Amino acid sequence: MTATDTYIAIPCALHNQYELAIMHKTRSCLRWLNKQQQIQTRTVTPVDLITRNKQEYLKALSLDHEALEIRLDKIISLKAC
């Protein structure tokens, strides 16, 4: 991990928003920055939140059933769509 890629914890309110989307299986429009710092956009169903190496990730399934793991501090927005 580089200095510019240090994980930044997200606010609890945002974490709660992700948990609610998972509980309700809310189809959502997800925007995030990939490893190349490019904006990605997908329609997903949030599945779970996981922690690995002191970093938190959102697990989600895209409409074409691709499994995604997005680091929480890289998410730009997650909105019902």
All structural domains of the chain with their residue ranges: 29-81
Q: Please answer whether residues 81 and 63 qualify as being in contact, where contact means their C-beta atoms are separated by less than 8 angstroms.
A: no
pLDDT of residue 5: 81
pLDDT of residue 30: 97
What predicted TM-score, i.e. pTM, was given to this entire model?
A: 0.89
Q: Is the predicted pLDDT of residue 16 greater than 60, yes or no?
A: yes
Q: In the numeric block, which tokens belong to residue 78?
A: 């997650």
Task: Quickly state the pLDDT bin for 60 (edges 50, 70, 90).
Answer: very high
Q: Is the predicted pLDDT of residue 3 greater than 60, yes or no?
A: no
- Per DSSP, what are the bridge partners of residue 41? 31
CATH of domain 29-81: 2.30.30
Helix (H, G, I), strand (E, B) or coil at 35: coil
pLDDT of residue 2: 53
